[in-house]
């Protein structure tokens, strides 16, 4: 999901027109629970939440 706050909030900032905020939510699951493939600190699944910004110029 992308969000452009300058357009959404109708702010007149010319230099911030290309600001883009992105939200990422993901779910990962693994069947490799043995010692050789131990991921996610010994658990089978995990949720990841992240937020990033990008300014295109």
DSSP state of 49: E
Integer angstrom CA distances of residue 23 from 4, 12, 13, 41, 49: 12, 24, 22, 25, 8
CB atoms within 10 A of CB 10: 6
Closest CA to 22 of 5, 38, 8: 5
Boundaries of domain holding 8 = 2-55
Longest Cα–Cα distance of the chain, Å, equals 56
Q: If you average pLDDT over residues 11-28, what whole number do you get?
A: 81
Q: If you average pLDDT over residues 21-25, what whole number do you get?
A: 88
Taking the model in full, what pTM does it have? 0.51
Q: Domain count for the chain, please give it.
A: 1
């Amino acid at each position: 999901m992308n969000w452009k706050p300058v357009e959404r909030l109708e702010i007149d900032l010319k230099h911030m027109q290309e600001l883009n905020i992105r939200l990422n939510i993901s779910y990962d699951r693994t069947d490799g629970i043995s010692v050789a493939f131990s991921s996610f600190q010994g658990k089978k699944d995990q949720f990841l939440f992240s937020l990033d910004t990008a300014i295109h110029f």
